[in-house]
Chain A
Amino acid sequence: MGEVLFGSLLIVLGLTLFIQGLEMGLFPIGEAMAQALARKGSLFWLLAFAFALGFSTTVAEPALIAVAAKAADIAGRGGLIDPGVESLAQYAFGLRMSVAFSVGLAILIGVMRILRGWPIHYLIIGGYVLVMLMTIVAPKEIIGIAYDAGGVTTSTITVPLVAALGVGLASTIRGRSPLTDGFGLIAFASLLPMIFVMGYGLIVFR
């Protein structure tokens, strides 16, 4: 019981510091950079920034770190992977990297959508179809964690920065409304990880 109380204290303290630090440093500069790049007008750098932003914020996302470690633990105990410390850490790392890569790609696609004005529902429905197709071929041990990965990735760091990028972009481009075109980036960021984690499962569990 004492252990749980001490742990809760650490969580409250840690989250407070974490959010305070984000608001002091990362959020203002992230928003300023997103707007500066949107105005700069170079498509290549804008897309590179979108990918790097999605990737780097996902790597630092606390909920994903926790869940990936848990998933490695379960997979090790279930005999799916070698239960040594080294291989568990490697599995968790691989899981996080495939999620981070897919979020980067998702933000890139989302930015393209805002620039070109593609309707969001076609892309999302296409994504749903891909998820279901991957489900047929993916090993069944990965499906639960893959479906969860979508919700896990978009959390404390990613959501505010990505939303700032979307709304900033939509308000600098003529003919785009920040309220209807600015949203939707997070939707891609919760969809693509499902597909990529199932792909990761295909590679690891064979």
Chain B
Amino acid sequence: MEFIKEFSGILLATCRDVLPIVILIVVFQLLVLRQKIPHLRRLVIGGIYVVIGLALFLAGLEKALFPLGKIMATQLSDPEFLYGTTEIISHADWTAYGWVYLFAAMIGFATTIAEPSLIAVAFKANEVSAGTISTWGLRITVAIGVAFGISLGTFRIVSGTPLYLYILVGYVIVIIQTIFAPKSIVALAYDSGGVTTSTVTVPLVAALGLGLASTVPGRNPALDGFGLIAFASLFPIIAVMGYAQLMDWKTKRGKK
């Protein structure tokens, strides 16, 4: 019974969230373009699907993904598991958290390789480069990039170093790569950063970061908990440009 009450609350909030899209379609289609809305029935049914689906997803998130990410973070950073003692550790030793880094890398790799928008981007990249960039090669490169990014992000949480230093270095690398990368790939590479972090990855990774920040001694979730997604959106840019440069260099060498 309580679930139904909770769910109807979420459903109501979802209707409010979708309202701007409805207004956008009605205003532009009827007032600006002055056309009838085509396939109105389909659109309405699709809209109902979207609202119900969104509400179900949000209800499930609270029950499954957030707790799951948190449980994993808590267990992997349990002092008894890491140091073999139940004594309270006041200072975190970053070398003891190997499993955390490995686990983070695996989450990053697995969720990225299955990401539908990345498959679409890889396909486009193959077209732009006239076949020099292979679809699979790019997907694996980006997945390794995300895996490395999230792993480095957990290292940052464990060691408590400031986030902006890492991002600043990342930006400098991106800028240097932009100078040398083939011009046709630049816009696509910039886009791929936003594309790889999707609806399922984001809550899971966020919960992992927040869970880690609350269990590692000396860390504060409000200061250190966020930032993993930032890593996951920066490294694909570097990976895509790097891959394009490598392929470019290979073809040039092959011609000589």
Task: Evaluate contact between A148 and B226: CB separation under 8 angstroms.
Answer: yes
Task: Evaluate contact between B186 and A121: CB separation under 8 angstroms.
Answer: yes
Tell me the complex Cα distance, A8–B60, Å: 6
Task: Evaluate contact between A62 and B25: CB separation under 8 angstroms.
Answer: no
Query: A14 in the interface, Cβ–Cβ < 8 Å?
Result: yes
Task: Evaluate contact between B53 and A67: CB separation under 8 angstroms.
Answer: no
Query: B46 in the interface, Cβ–Cβ < 8 Å?
Result: yes
Known: A63-B203, A156-B198. A120 touches B187 (CB 8 A): yes
Task: Evaluate contact between A40 and B178: CB separation under 8 angstroms.
Answer: no
Query: B221 in the interface, Cβ–Cβ < 8 Å?
Result: yes
Tell me the complex Cα distance, A62–B200, Å: 9
Choice from B68, B195, B233 contacting A159 with Cβ under 8 Å: B195
Task: Evaluate contact between A63 and B164: CB separation under 8 angstroms.
Answer: no
Q: Which residues of A contact B45 (CB under 8 A)?
A: 21, 24-25
Question: Which chain B residues numbered 198 to 253 have a C-beta less than 8 Å away from chain A?
Answer: 198-200, 202-203, 206-207, 210, 220-230, 232-233
A82 to chain B, nearest CB (A): 14
Query: A189 in the interface, Cβ–Cβ < 8 Å?
Result: yes
Task: Evaluate contact between B199 and A154: CB separation under 8 angstroms.
Answer: no
Task: Evaluate contact between A17 and B52: CB separation under 8 angstroms.
Answer: yes
Query: B137 in the interface, Cβ–Cβ < 8 Å?
Result: no
Task: Evaluate contact between A120 and B194: CB separation under 8 angstroms.
Answer: no
Per-residue 0/1 for B103-138: is the Cβ within 8 Å of any A Cβ (1 yes, 0 no)?
000000000000001000000100110000000000
Known: A78-B221, A179-B127. A33 touches B25 (CB 8 A): yes
Query: A98 in the interface, Cβ–Cβ < 8 Å?
Result: no
Known: A21-B48, A151-B232. A183 touches B191 (CB 8 A): yes
Q: Which residues of B contact A16 (CB under 8 A)?
A: 53
Binding site for A on B (CB under 8 A): 17-18, 20-21, 23-25, 27-29, 32-33, 35, 37-39, 42-68, 117, 124, 127-128, 163-164, 167-168, 171, 174-175, 178, 183-184, 186-188, 190-191, 193-200, 202-203, 206-207, 210, 220-230, 232-233
Binding site for B on A (CB under 8 A): 3-26, 28-29, 32-33, 36-37, 40, 45, 49, 52-53, 55-57, 59-60, 62-63, 65-67, 70-71, 74-75, 77-78, 80, 120-121, 124-125, 128, 131-132, 135, 140-141, 143-145, 147-148, 150-156, 159-160, 163, 179-187, 189-190
Of the A-B pairs whose beta carbons lie under 8 Å apart in the complex, a sample of 6, sorted by A's number, is A7-B64, A14-B58, A21-B47, A163-B191, A179-B124, A184-B190
